[in-house]
Amino acid sequence: MVRLVTRLTERLGIEHPILSAPMALAGGGALAAAVTRAGGLGLIGGGYGDADWLRTQYAAAGNTRTGCGFITWSLAKQPHLLGEVLAHRPAALMLSFGDPMPFAAEIAAADVPLICQCQNLGHVRAALEAGAAIIVAQGAEAGGHGHNRGTLPLVPEVADLLARESPDTLLLAAGGVADGRGLAAALMLGADGVLVGTRFWASREALVHPNHHAAAVAATGDETVRSALPDIARRLDWPRPFDIRVSDNAFIARWRGRDAELRATIEAEAPAYREAFMAGDPDKAAVVFGEAAGLISDIPSAGEIVARMVDEAAGHLKAGARLVAG
């Protein structure tokens, strides 16, 4: 396999500029370890702060070098979990969706690189003030939680900001990156690498119900939607302005425009939603994937995904060079 050498690969000591997103519930230790073994860096999803789940996933990762990521506003409710994860000496610690500053000193004292996922320029500047070593510019195409900026213009705009204000800070692109074309494009936009969610969610190692995988393989990018409904159904008090990209399925259709009604009936609806999700029902509960589902036609191993992405990206970068005349 060829290698793509960037500042990210050199800084983190990895072979390929690919990180797996720390997806809540789906991004466990087996997935993170598989991405790392393939030459990228896998991040375990700290999610909403289940300490027992985290311990289980670190056990699944074994001695493989991995990182971890937290939903920042949720970590603030259980800040002791940060120390438990730092005790594992993660290769990097990622914070998303909230102010990273309250946790920055503890992460820096542990000599662990801080990754901050950002959805706009204001988030980027807050992350830089907190000492982030790596910025993730996340576009709205991404599955799961995010906001409204598109990946294509956001990444170069953040690249320009970093070049002016913090040139040593690295940049990852996220949102809609699922193959070598996306990786090559991200590098050309000024990113040092990519953070990949949906494509690794659709891998054999991900903790995802087979029915949900089948729904993603069958879907196009048109069949996703940003919504607050799944969070209402799960009784998750997500702060504004964040919402979640999921499959545009029967659950969404049933409650579209009826947020207040769902809240009013939540005592009955929340247990039914959870039961449907755990059973893998792709219609009665949201399936969390992004627009990149339209680029997914199989459920391979995470290692195969990394190899494909790198080989394809190298091919596209070489082919692109041939377009230059003179």
Residue 1 has pLDDT above 90, yes or no: no
Closest CA to 186 of 170, 202, 200: 170
Q: What is the pLDDT of residues 39-75, one digit of tens each?
A: 999 999 998 888 999 999 999 999 999 999 999 999 9
User: What ranges make up the beta strands (E) of the chain?
Assistant: 18-20, 41-45, 67-71, 93-96, 114-118, 134-138, 144-146, 170-174, 193-196, 224-227, 243-247
Mean pLDDT of all residues in 157-176: 99
Closest CA to 216 of 276, 282, 168, 279: 282
> Is the distance from CB of 244 to CB of 144 less than 8 angstroms?
yes
**CB atoms closer than 10 angstroms to residue 324:** 6
DSSP symbol at 294? G
Read off the pTM: 0.96
Residues 159 and 12 in one domain: yes
Residues 41 and 165 in one domain: yes
DSSP 171-193: EEEESS--SHHHHHHHHHTT-SE
CATH number of the domain residue 177 falls in: 3.20.20.70
Residues 174 and 202 in one domain: yes
Residues 190 and 278 in one domain: no
Residues 233 and 178 in one domain: no
For residues 174 and 292, give the distance between their C-alpha atoms in angstroms, rounded to a whole number.
11
Range of the domain at 239: 219-291
Token pair in block for residue 105: 């000193």
Residues 181 and 45 in one domain: yes
Confidence of residue 326 (pLDDT cuts 50, 70, 90): confident
Q: What is the pLDDT of residues 242-289, one digit of tens each?
A: 999 999 999 999 999 999 999 999 999 999 999 999 999 999 999 999
Q: Which residue has the tokens 């982030």?
A: 132
Residues 168 and 280 in one domain: no
Domain count, the chain: 2
Residues 285 and 302 in one domain: no
Q: Is 243 within a domain?
A: yes
